[in-house]
Amino acid sequence: MNMHVLEVLGLRHRTGVHPPARKSARSKAIEHMPLASKVILPLQQHIGACAKAAVKRGDEVKVGQVIAESDGFVSAPIHATISGTVKQITTITSPVTGQPVPAIIIESDGKDEWIELAPADPENLSNEQILTRIQNAGIVGMGGATFPTHVKLKPPPQKHIHTLIVNGAECEPYITADDRLMLEEADRIIAGLKIVMQVLSVTRAHIAIEDNKPQAIERMRKALAQLSPPERITVVAVAARYPMGAEKTLVKSILHAEVPEGGLPMDVGALVQNVATLAAIYDAVTLGKPLVERVVTVAGMVSEPKNLIARFGTAASSLIELCGEPDTSIDQMIFGGPMMGIAQPSYDSPIIKGTNCVLLNRSDFRDEHSCIRCGRCIDSCPMGLMPLMFVNCVKKGEYETLPNYHIANCVECGACAYNCPANIPLVSYIKTGKTELQKRGVK
Amino acid sequence: MHNVSKLVLSPAPHLRGNASISRDMYIVTLALLLPCAGAVYFFGLYVLLMLATGVLCAVLTEYVAKLMRRQPFLMDGSAIVTGILLVLVMPPRTPLWIIAVGSVFSIAIAKEAFGGLGHNIFNPALAGRAFVTLSFASALTRWIAPVSSFMADGVTAATPLGEGFVTTLNNGALYKALFLGNVAGSVGETSVLLILIGGAILLAFGLIKWHVPVFYIGTVFLLSWIMGQDPLFHILAGGLMLGAFFMATDYVTSPITTRGKIIFAVGAGILVVVIRVLGTMPEGVCYSILLMNAVTPLIDRYVRPKPYGYIPTTRKEA
Ligand code: SF4
Ligand code: SF4
């Protein structure tokens, strides 16, 4: 029977939720924002080890110059994003973890002087050279996960990758950064995609875009049609259901295969790359340009939502100033989307590599009640879990029971909490549970 | 910038849907209004007094219980639903004091003593009904036929499932009477049509899944047919419809997974037929659901959704 019939009959239920899209900056072309007079660059912008400062106070730096490096394979260097003087090496509150993190502050000389770039033709580069260029450019996953890209592009030899999935789903409400990038920079994305296909020697790629972005779908299809020779790349319109953009959800809807528990998409022969990351890969490999800026959507309770290109380290307040009158009842600023984003302690929080959105809103605190066992969290969970049981176990302190309910499978998407009538902050309980398990050394 | 000191830190998700417990409960109340209105129409204004007593006692009991347990009293509407449901499963001329006793029992013992909403094992309204049946059996056997005028007192009559029930109606006319509500029975169970409309409201708002009523009623139909009974009569008569849409679907006391709900519904359906056909009691809906309530924790223990990417343990040795 056709899937849709099964869904209507309720014999196969669709997971996920339908938050309102609120993509108010959808029709706003990407704008370069004026350069900041000062940037604050935290030395940990990605998953993996913290970088060590390679400059000292008073040093003159140019745009693209490496200012912090870390050793280890799972790491990416950090570059100066404006030219000027290193003002201070200090400690700030990390916009990601909320913990103290070392940071370098650079004051602009107003010249925007770049280091010398070394363009290259990717077809003449070896895989090793391409990966090195990607690593040196400091590229990490720009969809929010910020995992170093060169590591992801070097799967262990026993894993055969046959399909590349390009993540243009952008399923979080408000965010339009990837949508605009696809509309305005389709060719850069496809150029980056071809580089990745070359590195992985895959011949098949799917560009997944939620069906609420028909213009982006059309634009990407047009750009593909102009390729010669044509490539085996298709644009797939996926259902607009949160969290469609989660890697495992995407793999399931495109390849109709589930990533084995505890595994990665490469276990079913797939690799997922975000559209913004692909554009950055093109810049790095072909133009030799390090990653120093990104598109950030400013949205929520501002009168003029925008998609701005901001250098990393720019304070959020500088972006907000460009977006009209902020509503006076705003009391919360989130980096990322409303479903998985992180509330920031101050308007000074700097934009970093994973910041796709600055969202200004009124906080929505609700009293937590007892679970009424309505089962909505189960129906919403894309990972087929029973989120209410995590709450149950954590409340009782029975952490050892959590693995029986496959807690490690949870991607912390928040779909369960979105629909809970008892306003239970399920994700917070799940995080507590995971932390407690880690403390106890249970895997 | 403004508000500098006041940025609120809170965990994700920062955006939530409009689901709330009180919203759920008020939708259920809305869906119950039709069977209630039908009951007033069929059995007279006395039903209004019964409803007022049931709801008032339920809400007051909850208030007192919360006070004693030093927990905040939330007007989440769940006590209202319990009060209404309790009245709907009572005979039409039940003395108000019995309603009051049942209502207090439903909330104080069946719900709060177990820990309040979300922790109770048995459906509070049905537990209350069972309690008063056992305690005051003789006061609860006076069934009346529906009256045509609002004020008049009814004529005593046997319920369709009772011993003394004889009908001069042919099958077609009997089904029609059962469907529209023109028969003796509990306050809210007589009109199948009104209950179906109420059930449709619950389905439309996504509050219940179709599986529960369909499997429950379907099981009763098939099994009574196999046992040589009149299947249509069995699904139209008695409290089956009310139970299937409004009680077997109770979140707290039925399994949480869809597969678990199906098992629950089939089990309850089997019990109804067994009790009606083989037992001494004429009606089995109340006990079928209460019995399945007791099995619910067991069902929830074993029936779980398949996690994404699940690897069966047998293949996990490596
Ligand atoms: S959605 Fe909330 S109330 Fe419903 S079962 Fe899950 S945790 Fe309980
Ligand atoms: S349990 Fe985890 S994966 Fe499932 S909905 Fe909740 S946050 Fe998402």
What pLDDT does residue B42 have?
Answer: 85
Q: Do A372 and B116 touch (CB under 8 A)?
A: no
What pLDDT does residue A380 have?
Answer: 94
Residue whose entry in the numeric block shows the structure tokens 């398949």: B306
> Helix, strand or coil for residue A16?
coil
Q: A-contacting residues of B 94-123, CB under 8 Å?
A: 115-119
pLDDT surpassing 70 at residue A362: yes
On the question of a cis peptide bond just before residue A229, with omega within 30 degrees of 0, the verdict is yes
pLDDT surpassing 50 at residue A1: no
* Closest ligand 2 atom, residue A417 Cα: 6
pLDDT surpassing 90 at residue B192: no
Q: Do A320 and B252 touch (CB under 8 A)?
A: no
Tokens of A233: 């790349």
Q: Do B20 and A13 touch (CB under 8 A)?
A: no
What pLDDT does residue B1 have?
Answer: 47
pLDDT surpassing 60 at residue B152: no
pLDDT surpassing 70 at residue B156: no
Measured in Å, how far apart are chain B's first and last C-alpha atoms? 57
pLDDT surpassing 90 at residue A51: no
Q: What are the b/e assignments for B51-70, b being 16+ CB within 10 Å?
A: bebbbbbbbbbbeebeeeee
Q: Do A364 and B14 touch (CB under 8 A)?
A: yes
On the question of a cis peptide bond just before residue A403, with omega within 30 degrees of 0, the verdict is no
Q: Does A424 sit in the ligand 2 pocket, CB within 6 Å? A: no
Q: How far is CA A288 from CA A60, A132, A285, A344, in A?
A: 21, 11, 5, 33
Whose CA is closest to B165, among B150, B143, B192? B143
Could you tell which of A259, A402, A416 is best to mutate to test the pocket of ligand 2, judged by most ligand atoms within 8 Å of the CB?
A416
Whose CA is closest to B251, among B241, B242, B239, B260? B260
Superfamily of domain A128-287: NADH-ubiquinone oxidoreductase 51kDa subunit (3.40.50.11540)
Q: What are the strands, taking DSSP E only, across A43-120?
A: 52-53, 60-61, 66-69, 78-79, 84-93, 100-108
Tell me the shortest Cα–Cα distance from A262 to chain B, in angstroms: 8
Q: Does A410 sit in the ligand 2 pocket, CB within 6 Å? A: yes
CA A312 to centroid of ligand 2, rounded, Å: 31
Structural domains of chain B ordered from first start: 22-301 (1.10.3430)
pLDDT surpassing 70 at residue B5: no
Residue of chain B whose Cα is closest to the Cα of A415 = B13
Q: Where is A178: in which H helix or E strand?
A: helix A177-184
Mean pLDDT of chain B: 86
What pLDDT does residue A364 have?
Answer: 87
What pLDDT does residue A233 have?
Answer: 93
Q: Do B12 and A374 touch (CB under 8 A)?
A: no
Q: If pLDDT is split at 50, 70 and 90, which confidence band does B199 have?
A: very high
Q: B-contacting residues of A 273-292, CB under 8 Å?
A: none
Q: Do A384 and B307 touch (CB under 8 A)?
A: yes
What pLDDT does residue B161 have?
Answer: 67
Atom 4 of ligand 2: nearest residue by CA position: A381
pLDDT in tens, A117-135: 999 999 999 999 999 999 9
Please tell me if residue B18 touches chain A, with a CB cutoff of 8 Å. Answer: no
What pLDDT does residue B83 have?
Answer: 96
Please tell me if residue A90 touches chain B, with a CB cutoff of 8 Å. Answer: no
User: Which amino acid type is present at position B228?
Assistant: G
Q: For helices A127-136 and A275-286, what crossing angle results, to 10°? A: 110
Q: What is the pTM of this model?
A: 0.90
CA B18 to centroid of ligand 1, rounded, Å: 14
Share of chain A above pLDDT 90, in %: 83
What pLDDT does residue A10 have?
Answer: 52
What pLDDT does residue B143 have?
Answer: 64
What pLDDT does residue B140 have?
Answer: 72
Using an 8 Å Cβ cutoff, are B236 and B178 in contact?
yes
**Mean pLDDT calculated for residue range B141-163:** 57
Using an 8 Å Cβ cutoff, are A419 and B17 in contact?
yes
pLDDT surpassing 50 at residue B270: yes
**Cα three-residue angle A399-A401-A406, rounded to 5 degrees:** 105
Tell me the shortest Cα–Cα distance from B291 to chain A, in angstroms: 19
- Stretch among A157-171, A210-224, B41-55, B138-152 having the lowest mean pLDDT: B138-152
pLDDT surpassing 70 at residue B2: no
Q: B-contacting residues of A 134-193, CB under 8 Å?
A: 173
pLDDT surpassing 80 at residue B197: yes
pLDDT in tens, B29-54: 999 999 999 989 888 899 999 999 99
Residue of chain B whose Cα is closest to the Cα of A361 = B14
Q: What are the strands, taking DSSP E only, across A152-292?
A: 163-168, 204-210, 232-238, 270-274
Using an 8 Å Cβ cutoff, are B159 and B183 in contact?
yes
Q: How far is CA A33 from CA A295, A309, B66, in A?
A: 10, 6, 57
- Cα–Cα dist A344/A335, whole Å: 7
Q: If pLDDT is split at 50, 70 and 90, which confidence band does B177 have?
A: confident
Whose CA is closest to B161, among B308, B297, B286? B286
- Stretch among A12-16, A302-306, A375-379, B121-125 having the lowest mean pLDDT: A12-16
Q: Do B256 and A333 touch (CB under 8 A)?
A: no
Whose CA is closest to A250, among A272, A269, A228? A272
This complex has an ipTM of 0.88
Using an 8 Å Cβ cutoff, are A165 and A205 in contact?
yes
pLDDT surpassing 90 at residue A302: yes
Higher pLDDT, B316 or B136: B136
What pLDDT does residue B142 have?
Answer: 63
- Cα–Cα dist A420/A255, whole Å: 30
Q: If pLDDT is split at 50, 70 and 90, which confidence band does B170 have?
A: low
CB proximity list for B308: less than 8 A, separation 6 or greater: A248, A252, A258, A259, A261, A382, A383, A384, A385, A409
What pLDDT does residue B190 have?
Answer: 73
- Cα–Cα dist B13/A143, whole Å: 17
- Stretch among A143-157, A333-347, A387-401, B17-31 having the lowest mean pLDDT: A143-157
Nearest to A378 among B15, B16, B257 (CB): B257
Higher pLDDT, A337 or A76: A337
Please tell me if residue A332 touches chain B, with a CB cutoff of 8 Å. Answer: yes
Tokens of B273: 């037929």
Whose CA is closest to A171, among A220, A140, A213? A213
What pLDDT does residue B160 have?
Answer: 66
Tokens of A430: 């799940």
Q: Where is B88: in which H helix or E strand?
A: helix B78-88
pLDDT surpassing 50 at residue A392: yes
CA dihedral B195, B196, B199, B205 (to 10 degrees): -130
Residue of chain B whose Cα is closest to the Cα of A18 = B17
DSSP state of A66: E
pLDDT surpassing 60 at residue A9: no
What pLDDT does residue A368 have?
Answer: 93
pLDDT in tens, A23-48: 999 999 999 999 999 999 998 866 66
- Cα–Cα dist A143/A354, whole Å: 6
Residue of chain A whose Cα is closest to the Cα of B15 = A338
Q: If pLDDT is split at 50, 70 and 90, which confidence band does B318 have?
A: very low
Please tell me if residue B302 touches chain A, with a CB cutoff of 8 Å. Answer: no
- Determine how many CB atoms are found less than 10 A away from the CB of residue A213: 24
pLDDT surpassing 80 at residue A404: yes
Tell which phi-psi region holds residue A306, choosing left (phi > 0), alpha (psi between -120 and 50) or beta: beta
Mean pLDDT of chain A: 92
**Cα-Cα-Cα-Cα dihedral sign, residues A207, A212, A216, A222:** positive
**Mean pLDDT calculated for residue range B83-94:** 92
Using an 8 Å Cβ cutoff, are A136 and A290 in contact?
yes
Tokens of B5: 């000191």
**Mean pLDDT calculated for residue range A343-348:** 94
Share of chain B above pLDDT 70, in %: 84
User: What does A299-347 look like in DSSP terms, one character per residue?
Assistant: EESBSS-EEEEEETT-BHHHHHHTS-PBPTT--EEEES-TTT-EE-S-T
Size (chain B), residues:
318
CA B312 to centroid of ligand 2, rounded, Å: 21
Residues of chain A with CATH 3.40.50.11540: 128-287
Q: If pLDDT is split at 50, 70 and 90, which confidence band does B317 have?
A: very low
* Closest ligand 1 atom, residue A422 Cα: 3
What pLDDT does residue B184 have?
Answer: 63
